[in-house]
């Protein structure tokens, strides 16, 4: 039997053999891959291994050359549509942090409505690996909604993915958002609620006391204004948990929905330009971390968000606000 031989790279180190094979042997079902491993037709360093074997750098992997599938290493994503510009806020060998524009999906293998590629597609198309790898490709390490702008972190190598995810799990990363809320929020608040799926729509989440998963959100008003005759508040929102639609659903539940968020805001008469204003603004990391991140990374506000602040909030230009202390500059 003829075999194809591959050498594991540094970004394959520690990954399970079945998962690595699945990534670069794309056309073969998982059940068939398990069968090939169990029968000893897929070998590592000339030996049979279990499906849960952890690959080591420089392992020699042999795969039978058969007509049922084609073998290719992890490669760039091809994008046929025009690729929008994306703004890098920070980039090193471990992670790439992007200021995501409005209306772009983070995940996805296909273009979203309007023919716009996902951010994941763009990052993969632009990726130039520092190390050869059978299985690694950059991926988002967390998510934000398509209509939310701001910071999104992608892995640049396996170590970056592992250590960033570990910091997230240990709640060592402080994530702050800027949002325009409907209503006049008078003082800081900490919201602790249970979030679960809306039974009527899998797209949206609702808040129910005593049910679902805990969501904890801190809200700090920094400016107030008026839009279409109604009160609005510019707030910094810090999330201690990362539930889907956490900010949107909790703001609505506590009677301060995001301005323009018609999915959670029953007062559709506010209108604006058909979007809501929610920006993943700032991340704060441990001062000493293994992937060489600075202590704080901030994403500039989109132009339309800045214009809205200038036109509708009490202090005008966003630069007039001393965000560090959450108070307007005198």
Across the range 278-284, mean pLDDT stands at 96
Buried b (16+ CB within 10 A) or exposed e, 181-200: bbbebeeeeebebebeeeee
Across the range 215-231, mean pLDDT stands at 92
Instruction: Provide the pLDDT confidence category of residue 68 given band limits of 50, 70 and 90.
Output: very low
Question: How far is 273 from 85, CA to CA, in rounded Å?
Answer: 22
Q: What is the pLDDT of residues 7-34, one digit of tens each?
A: 888 888 888 999 888 877 777 889 989 9
Least confident among 48-57, 68-77, 249-258: 68-77
Between the alpha carbon of residue 55 and those of residues 33, 43, 80, 268, 270, the distances in Å are: 16, 11, 34, 54, 56
Percentage, residues of the chain above pLDDT 90: 48
Least confident among 42-46, 151-155, 269-273, 291-295: 269-273
Site of tokens 């080591």: 56
Instruction: Provide the pLDDT confidence category of residue 260 given band limits of 50, 70 and 90.
Output: confident
pLDDT over 90 at 292, yes or no: yes
Does residue 72 or residue 138 have the better pLDDT?
138
Least confident among 167-176, 259-268, 310-319: 259-268
Supply the pLDDT for residue 207.
Answer: 65
In the numeric block, which tokens belong to residue 62?
Answer: 């042999």
Question: How far is 161 from 15, CA to CA, in rounded Å?
Answer: 12
In the numeric block, which tokens belong to residue 159?
Answer: 């170590």
Supply the pLDDT for residue 66.
Answer: 65
Q: What is the pLDDT of residues 112-131, one digit of tens each?
A: 445 678 999 999 888 888 77
Question: How far is 173 from 265, CA to CA, in rounded Å?
Answer: 29
Across the range 185-193, mean pLDDT stands at 93
Pairing between strand 149-155 and 278-284? Answer: parallel
- Whether 149 and 279 have beta carbons less than 8 Å apart is answered as yes
Q: What is the pTM of this model?
A: 0.79
Instruction: Provide the pLDDT confidence category of residue 201 given band limits of 50, 70 and 90.
Output: low
pLDDT over 70 at 264, yes or no: yes
Question: How far is 90 from 163, CA to CA, in rounded Å?
Answer: 16
pLDDT over 80 at 52, yes or no: yes
In the numeric block, which tokens belong to residue 46?
Answer: 């000339």
pLDDT over 90 at 208, yes or no: no
pLDDT over 60 at 70, yes or no: no
DSSP state at residue 112: B
pLDDT over 70 at 182, yes or no: yes
Buried b (16+ CB within 10 A) or exposed e, 20-38: bbbbbbeebeeeebeebbe
30-38 helix and 17-24 helix, angle to the nearest 10 degrees? 130
Residue 182 sits at φ, ψ, to 5 deg, of -75, 135
pLDDT over 90 at 111, yes or no: no
């Amino acid at each position: 039997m003829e075999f194809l031989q591959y050498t594991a790279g540094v970004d394959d180190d520690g990954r399970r053999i079945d998962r690595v094979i699945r990534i670069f042997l794309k056309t073969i079902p998982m059940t068939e891959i398990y069968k090939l491993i169990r029968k000893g037709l897929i070998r590592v360093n000339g030996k049979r291994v279990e499906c849960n074997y952890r690959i080591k750098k420089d392992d020699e992997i042999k795969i039978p050359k058969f007509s049922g599938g084609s073998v290719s290493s992890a490669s760039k994503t091809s994008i046929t549509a025009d690729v929008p510009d994306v703004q890098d806020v920070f980039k090193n060998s471990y992670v790439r942090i992007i200021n995501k524009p409005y209306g772009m999906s983070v995940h996805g293998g296909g273009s979203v409505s309007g023919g716009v590629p996902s951010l994941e597609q763009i990052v993969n198309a632009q990726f130039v690996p520092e190390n050869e790898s059978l299985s690694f490709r950059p991926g988002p390490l967390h998510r934000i909604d398509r209509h939310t702008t701001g910071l999104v972190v992608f892995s640049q190598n396996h170590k970056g993915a592992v250590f960033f995810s570990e910091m997230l799990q240990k709640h060592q990363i402080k994530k702050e958002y800027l949002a325009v809320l409907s209503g006049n929020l008078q003082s800081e608040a900490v919201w602790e609620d249970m979030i679960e799926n809306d039974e009527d729509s899998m797209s949206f989440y609702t808040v129910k006391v005593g049910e679902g998963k805990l969501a904890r959100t801190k809200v700090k008003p920094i400016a107030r204004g008026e839009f279409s005759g109604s009160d609005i508040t510019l707030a910094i929102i810090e999330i201690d948990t990362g539930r889907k639609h956490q900010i949107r659903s909790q703001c609505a539940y506590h009677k301060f929905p995001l301005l323009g968020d018609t999915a959670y805001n029953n007062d559709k008469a506010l209108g604006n330009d058909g979007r809501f204003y929610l920006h993943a603004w700032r991340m704060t990391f441990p001062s000493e971390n293994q992937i060489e991140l600075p202590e704080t990374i901030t994403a500039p506000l989109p132009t339309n968000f800045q214009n809205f602040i200038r036109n509708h909030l009490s202090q005008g230009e966003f630069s007039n606000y001393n965000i560090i202390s959450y108070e307007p500059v005198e």
